[in-house]
Structure 1
């Protein structure tokens, strides 16, 4: 969301595009390095976090050994993998320097992609938020339905356990 907002601000001239790109790249790297370090230096805690996903962890470890560099690069673009994959890569003792270099290029491409899309769609994004501001009841209705669905899901899930 911060990259999208930065892209819109860059579009309107309120932020420098290059600054937003650098900040987005470094911010993305910082999060991944944190989770890598957690997995590397506190393996017991990392595996405790992932305890309920033992099968997936075992399969992911095999994939890390087989396709390490590709996984480091692509994990940023896979929804839900942003925390788990760096944690597993750190726990598997993947080379830190190699991780940082590949992660830099992945973070750069990720920031460039989101920032550029938001930059070119800046007018449309601004118009969308102006529409939402003038029709706030749609937002409330959407949030209400979303909350109701979440409550129903949680009730159903808690009955199984």
Structure 2
């Protein structure tokens, strides 16, 4: 039942999750792909769609209402100033890579929109950056999840030995403390 819900609503939930937040939603979806509940290819595509749509929305809101948005969110103002400074030096590089830096995912597109950066250029570089982020993070998380699954499977086979080893260490510790108390 839960598996059916995940298969039915997992992809739309991922699009919404990456639209709103990003990394956590993608990592959960990659875990579900490792468990064969979702397809890693569709996970990467949905992550791209969600993050790209979010970036485009914030960019266009920045073009129209950027100053008001920054004023309405006082915590964004220092980030917006920092983003503006970074953007002035290497604009195309920041459009490609801002989503890889925590804390700049929303304020950077707003700032880029405010800066007068060409919407066509933003569309192109944002598309490339979102594809790199979604594809790269999906692949890394999926590969890491598969590696961890193998490791956990090995641990599962050795759990009896591990439990016996822990029990032996506890027993030795208890005997040592008991012996120390008698010596005092």
Task: Give the counterpart of 2:135 among 96, 104, 112.
Answer: 112
Task: Give the counterpart of 1:93 among 116, 126, 140.
Answer: 116
**1:65 matched to 2:81:** no
Higher relative contact order (CA 8 A, sep 6+): 1
CA contact (8 A) 1:75 1:82 kept: yes
Q: Give the 3 Å change call, closer, same or farther, for CA 31–125 of structure 1 in structure 2.
A: farther
2:172 maps to what in 1?
Answer: none
Unaligned runs of 5+ residues in structure 1 are 128-161
Q: Give the 3 Å change call, closer, same or farther, for CA 48–125 of structure 1 in structure 2.
A: farther
1:103 maps to what in 2?
Answer: 126
Unaligned runs of 5+ residues in structure 2 are 1-23, 153-184
* TM, length-normalised to structure 2: 0.60
1:5 maps to what in 2?
Answer: 28
Specify the structure having the higher radius of gyration (Cα): 2
- For 1:1-161, list aligned pairs within 5 A: 1-49=24-72, 51=74, 57-58=80-81, 60-123=83-146, 124=148
RMSD: 2.4
Cα distance in 2 for partners of 1:108, 1:52 equals 28
* TM, length-normalised to structure 1: 0.68
Structure 1's consecutive aligned runs of 4 or more residues displaced over 6 angstroms after TM superposition are: none
